[in-house]
Structure 1
């Protein structure tokens, strides 16, 4: 009798856990990802598209996530015409993100810890140009929306152009290693 009772409890617990665990697909057309890069003489910003994304929940609590970014969609929004086309092309070149050989970047959540109402501290692995490094950030979830601000050090991903980490005497031509990503996600 004890074996039957134990089996029933395990089956019920497994069924309950699978009912509560759910994966939400990110609506890639309704979500928006903005990047901003900084240089000594100013900054540039633009957008990049999400190719695919999911967030995992247990009930209402975030437990995981995974995103693939379409690096070929890098788009500058603070310039127009020839200057915009030049910067978009340069960002897609091997000097920066090398999208011909690395058309996607990937973020995988490895640990999610609640840190306040609707807020989570997330540890993850970020892959850019085939190089994977750990990353930490805070993500907020409100109903079917989530927001996140990431600060990424491009030098960790062999994005060298104009970086003081790799070149001397750049003076006012230097581009800072850290750039920002702000994502407003709909799911």
Structure 2
């Protein structure tokens, strides 16, 4: 009988916690992901589309999140014409994101620390090209938006094309290992 009461209390506690959680679906059509990749002689920038995602809140505090990014949507915004088409094709190739075999990248929150004033420290699993690594970043959440800047080391995902850490004698052809993502989520 005592075990039955313990189980009943555990079920009530679980239902209460689950009932207080609120999942907010991300509006992918209004959300943005802007990227910047740098090389010795300059940089390139563009966008990537969010496929879908959600943020989870408990007692109005961020408690979870999961997102899927459409890697086939990689777009370059600083070039036009043939140069634009060539870079986008190259970014989608196996030298970079291999979108034919890996059309989606994923981000899943694992740990969230409330820093106050709507700012959260996030530890998440980022999966690119089927490879998952931990990443840390801050996210600022308001009533209907969340923004974050992520710095991603591409070499952790076996994207080593023209990396000075993997190839010698690249000179001014070297591409820096880190790329930046500026994310704005609307929910």
Note whether the superposition's TM-score is higher than 0.5: yes
The SS at the match of 1:56 is strand
Distance across 1 between alignment mates of 2:153 and 2:4: 55
Map of 1:75 onto structure 2? 75
Map of 1:127 onto structure 2? 127
Map of 1:164 onto structure 2? 164
Unaligned runs of 5+ in 2: none
Unaligned runs of 5+ in 1: none
Tell me the TM-score normalised to structure 1 length. 0.93
Map of 2:144 onto structure 1? 144
Go from structure 1 to structure 2 and tell me whether the alpha carbon gap of 1:11 and 1:158 turns closer, same or farther (over 3 Å shift). closer
The SS at the match of 1:172 is helix
Which has the larger displacement, 108-117 or 17-26?
17-26
Map of 1:45 onto structure 2? 45
The answer to whether the aligner puts 1:102 opposite 2:95 as a matched pair is no
Distance across 1 between alignment mates of 2:5 and 2:106: 44
Tell me the TM-score normalised to structure 2 length. 0.93
Compute the RMSD of aligned alpha carbons: 1.9
Distance across 2 between alignment mates of 1:3 and 1:55: 36
How far has the Cα of 1:13 moved from its partner?
Answer: 4.0
Q: Say how many residue pairs are matched.
A: 187
